[in-house]
Amino acid sequence: MNILLIAGGWSSEREVSLSGGKGIHKALEALGHKVTLHDPVRSLDGLPGAVRGKDFAFINLHGSPGEDGLVQAMLEQLGCPYQGAGPAASMLALNKAAAKALFMGAGLNTAPYILLNARPDKGWQPEMAYPLFIKSNTGGSSLHMEKVERPEDLDGALDRLFAVNAAFLLESAVNGREITCGVLGRLENGAEVPEALPTILIKPATGKVFDYTSKYTPGGAEELCPAPVPDTLNKKIQAMALAAHQALGITGYSRSDFMAPENGDPVLLEVNTLPGMTPTSLIPQEAAAVGLSYEQLVQRLVDLGLARHKKRRHDY
């Protein structure tokens, strides 16, 4: 097939997107596909022309555009199939506050939070126990995130963060083990059936937070797959990841992040619709644990995207 690989973009996660794109590019060529890279560096003006003559688009954009559903909506309008979540599910998952509202509606355990659409007045304090996390409501890769240990540190953190972004989520910190779990579809008689992948236990080298540095610095974190946790906890997290995937209406694949306290139920943090796709990223590790090579994972995502496009055309 003639495939358009869309990677890069203009978000703060541009370099992560390009890094993952290299692995996808290599895998697609190894599978026998012809690949053309399209990098929407400043705008999406060139996308309609880039799509022309292509059989499929593989999206590897983090943040906006891509995770917000904009590129997916354009591709659907242009009649080009692509992998992963559709426009609505992408937008809902990227907006942490919207996603958490749907999680709670589905009975999924998630941390208490406050959405800050504007910088509160100086001296403002939330009715929440410290420590707290402040994270971008629509960002990823743990960029623009701070952990606030004490009330007297809140104003400084808000000043720094609101200088670079528009809306933030204030969330209660949850102590415990950080565990992630992917969901990957498989085709059964032409229909997509989502299945939870093995979990991964994440142990940041700093022993503190799995932040941007831990995620993308070699040796920044130890990632144990399958997670060495009790089977009951493992199954509970897999069930929650699958339920979160379905609550947002995601297709193809996703990755859900959790905190697992020593006592109590796992807490769902967020869901990623375009998770990292370098050969050593979390979803490829989980796929490898069930016998799927990186190339087979990439082809599975292409096949699922083609099936979804065919069904969508049939439904309309």
127 is catalytic: no
**C-alpha angle 268/270/271, rounded to 5°?**
115
Span(s) in the chain for CATH 3.40.50.20: 2-83
Residue 176 designated active-site: no
Identity of the amino acid at 127: E
Active-site option among 68, 178, 270, 286: 270
Place of tokens 């379905």: 246
Task: Determine which one of 176, 216, 265, 295 is catalytic.
Answer: 216
Whether the per-residue pLDDT at 316 is higher than 70: the answer is no
255 is annotated as an active-site residue:
yes
Max Cα-Cα span within the chain: 60
The arrangement of secondary structure in 2-83, i.e. its CATH architecture, is 3-Layer(aba) Sandwich (3.40)
pTM over 0.85? The answer is: yes
Q: How far apart are CA 140 and CA 191, in angstroms?
A: 30
Q: What is the dihedral of CA 15, 18, 24, 30, to 10 degrees?
A: -130
Active-site annotation holds for 257: yes
| 3-state secondary structure at position 172 | strand
Residues of the chain with CATH 3.30.1490.20: 113-172
- The yes-or-no answer on residue 136 being catalytic is no
Phi, psi of 168 (to 5 degrees): -135, 155
Q: Which of 20, 23, 69, 276 is catalytic?
A: 276
Q: Which of 67, 137, 178, 255 is catalytic?
A: 255
Q: What is the pLDDT of residues 14-54, one digit of tens each?
A: 999 999 999 999 999 999 999 999 999 988 999 999 999 99
Backbone torsions φ then ψ of 182, nearest 5 degrees: -95, 160
96 φ, ψ (degrees, to nearest 5): -60, -40
141 included as an active-site residue: yes
pLDDT, one tens digit per residue, over 43-98 is 899 999 999 999 999 999 998 888 999 999 999 999 999 999 999 999 999 999 99
Catalytic residue among 8, 11, 13, 212: 13
Query: In the CATH hierarchy, which fold is given to the domain comprising 92-108+175-315?
Result: D-amino Acid Aminotransferase; Chain A, domain 1 (3.30.470)
The region, left, alpha or beta by phi > 0 then psi within -120 to 50, assigned to residue 240 is: alpha
The predicted pLDDT at position 63 comes to 82
Token digits of residue 256? 């859900």
Domain boundaries for CATH 3.30.470.20 within the chain: 92-108+175-315
Overall fold of domain 113-172: Dna Ligase; domain 1 (3.30.1490)
